[in-house]
Structure formats: C-alpha cells, structure tokens
Amino acid sequence: MKILVPVKRVIDPYAKIRVKADGSGVEMANMKMAMNPFDEIAVEEALRLREKNVATEVVAMAVGAANVVDTLRQAQALGANRAIHVAYEGEVQPLAYARLLKAVVEREQPRLVIMGKQAIDDDYNQTGQMLAALLDWPQATFASKVDVAGDVATVVREIDGGLQTISVTLPAVITTDLRLNNPRYASLPNIMKAKKLPIDTLDVAALGVEMSPRMITLTTTEPEARKPGVMVKDVDELIGKLKNDARVI
C-alpha cells in the first residue's frame, strides 16, 4: 500500500512572529523555517504503518517555491521513500491545495492520504476535508490513534465531547491531531543522505489546477500587548476590579 503525506514549510513554531510594517502580512525574510508540526506527526504515522508492514511506500509531497525542497529533504531524512515537489511561487489557499492534491492522488494512486489537520501559519483546517470531498473518499479527521487492517482503518478521533472511534474503508483521507504520536528525529547520516536523493518535480500548469485565490487578506495586526498586573490591597478591591474593570463577574 502506498501512503501520500503532504507537508508544508512554515515559520518555526518557536520563532517570534513579526508583522510587516505595512500590515500586508507576516514578515518572512530571515525567518527560521520548519516543517508544519502536524505534518511531522503525519509523516511519523505513515512511517510507523510501513514499519508494521501495512504500507510499502511513503511518498511526501509539498507545494511551493524552490525552498520548499528543504522540507521534502527533511521528510526523506526521516524515512520517506520518495518526494514530490509541485512548483508554484504564489499563495496557495486550501481549495487550490486540495485540487493539487487530488491531481497528485490521481497520478500516484495511494490507498491512504495522511496529513496534518491544519497548518500553524494560517490555521484553516480545511484542506483534508476538501480533498476527501473532491475525491469522494471517506475521511477521519483529528486522529489520535490509527489502526489499519486490510481495507479498513479504525481511527480514534478527538472531538469536543471526548473521543470518537470510527472505521473508514480505504482509500481514505486521515488528518492528524497532536496526540497521535511523537515524531522521531532525523539522524545526521540520514540528513546527509537525503541531500542526494532525487525529488520529482511537477508543474502546476501540467496538473491543470486553477490557483487563483478565493480570499484576500485586507490587513494583518499584532495582538494587543498584555497589560501589566496590579497589586490590590484586599479581596474587596480585587472583586471590584474583576467586576468593574475586567467585567468577568
């Protein structure tokens, strides 16, 4: 069985985010970049399924400019068998991304697509669901446990009320939540080997996908700075401030 794992290059989650002076977006210049954390979990889960002999091949895929190859190299260093780079310079919004994924799925014919539930840069949480709809495949989102036996995947999902266990028939789309696994680290020898591995490159035009954005960002602002705390003399003053100033009681 082949598993396709889409990965995205995002600003490192531990880096300090800065908004551009004109408010047009987030400053990307000279920022440390990394693989989206939810996608790291997806790669790890695909590798574990291969190690259990459930899958035979793990294919990583990324969309973006030339620098997204670094993220694919990371996936290869972790253990992905192959990597696919869909070259595109502009903004990629969820629907366009889902359509690109659909085109790649039709070319690669995987039995399972495992992907992060969302990217930490835009937090859309839409692409997996859109892909499942476009492919007319079953989906299991927010997975915290995945077991695959034959043509059936049993997935424990994290929902507002607790946990929900469902079964989906393959082929299917699964999106990963934080508690699914703890991703492994790539060893230095594997990182060096990954630099020499081939990466297949596809052109958006050849895939025939319309990439025009459906949404326009009007302005980006930083959150308000947190106000410093104040000392109160007694409980009565504390209650007064909570009631009159904070208005939480």
Which pLDDT score is estimated for 222? 84
Which pLDDT score is estimated for 214? 86
Which pLDDT score is estimated for 18? 86
* Residue pLDDT, tens place only, 171-221: 999 999 999 999 999 999 999 999 999 999 998 988 889 888 888 888 888
Lowest mean pLDDT among 17-26, 46-55, 79-88, 160-169: 17-26
* Model confidence at 127: pLDDT above 90: yes
Residue 154: Cβ-neighbour burial (10 angstroms; 0-12, 13-18, 19+): middle
pLDDT confidence tier of residue 45, bands split at 50, 70 and 90: very high
Determine the topology of domain 2-222 in CATH: Rossmann fold (3.40.50)
* Model confidence at 17: pLDDT above 90: no
Residue 152's contacts (CB-CB under 8 Å, 6 or more residues apart) are 167, 168, 169, 170
* Model confidence at 161: pLDDT above 90: no
Given a contact cutoff of 8 angstroms between Cβ atoms, the answer to whether 127 and 101 are in contact is yes
Give domain limits for the chain. 2-222
| Mean pLDDT of the chain, nearest integer | 93
Euclidean distance between CA atoms 174 and 117, whole angstroms: 8
> For residue 6, which amino acid is it?
P
* Residue pLDDT, tens place only, 89-103: 888 999 999 999 999
User: Got the DSSP string for 69-124?
Assistant: HHHHHHHHHHT-SEEEEEE--S---HHHHHHHHHHHHHHH--SEEEEES--TTT--
